[in-house]
Structure 1
Amino acid sequence: MAAILMIDDERAILELVKNGLQKDGHFVTAYTSAAQVPLDKLNRYDLIILDIMMPDIDGFSYCDKIRSLVDCPILFLTAKTMEHDITFGLGLGADDYLTKPFRIAELRARVNAHLRREHRERHTALTFDRIKIDLSAKELRVDNTPVALTKSEYLICEYLARNKGQVFSKEQIYEAVFSLEGDSDNSTISTHIKNIRAKLNKLDIQPIATVWGIGYKWE
Structure 2
Amino acid sequence: MATILAIDDDADILSLLSRTLQKDGHLVTTALSPDTIETETLNRFDLILLDVMMPGTDGFAFCRKIRDMVDCPILFLTAKTLESDVTIGFALGADDYIKKPFGTSELRARVNAHLRRESREKRHVLHISGLDFNLMAKEVTIDKQRIPLTKIEYGICEYLAQNHGQVFTKEQIYDAVFGYDAEGDSFTVAVHIKNIRAKFATYQTIPISTIWGIGYKWD
- TM-score interval (norm. to shorter): 0.5 to 0.7
Tell me the equivalent position of 1:102: 102
Residue 73 of structure 1 corresponds to: 73
Displacement, 1:121?
A: 4.8
For structure 2, the 5+ residue unaligned runs are: 124-135, 138-143, 146-219
Which residue of structure 2 lines up, in the alignment, with residue 114 of structure 1?
114
Secondary structure (helix, strand or coil) at the match of 1:109 reads helix
Mapped to 2, the partners of 1:95 and 1:107 lie a distance apart of 14
Amino acid at match of 1:100: K
Residue 47 (1) aligns with residue 43 (2): no
Deviations 1:116-137 (A, max 9, x none): 00111589xxxxxxxxxxxx88
Which consecutive segments of 4 or more residues in structure 1 shift more than 6 A? none
| Residue correspondence of structure 1 range 1-219 to structure 2 within 5 A | 1-121=1-121
What is the deviation of 1:72?
0.2
How many positions carry a matched residue from both structures? 129
Q: Which amino acid aligns with 1:23?
A: K
Change (3 A) 1:55 1:98: same
Per the alignment, do residues 69 and 19 of structure 1 end up closer, same or farther by CA in structure 2, a change over 3 Å counting? same
Say which SS state the counterpart of residue 90 (structure 1) adopts. Answer: helix
Q: Distance in 2 between matches of 1:89 and 1:6?
A: 17
Larger Rg: 2
Q: Tell me the alpha carbon deviations over residues 98-118 of structure 1, each in whole angstroms, 9 at most, x when there is no partner.
A: 111111110111110000001
Counterpart CA distance in 2 for 1:47 and 1:7 is 11
In the TM superposition, what is the alpha-carbon distance from 1:56 to its structure 2 partner? 1.1
**Structure 1 segments unaligned to the other structure (5+ residues):** 124-135, 138-144, 147-219
Change (3 A) 1:121 1:49: closer
The residue matched to 2:94 in structure 1 has which SS? coil
After TM superposition, the score normalised by the length of structure 2 is 0.56
CA-based RMSD: 2.2
Deviation larger for 112-121 or 64-73: 112-121
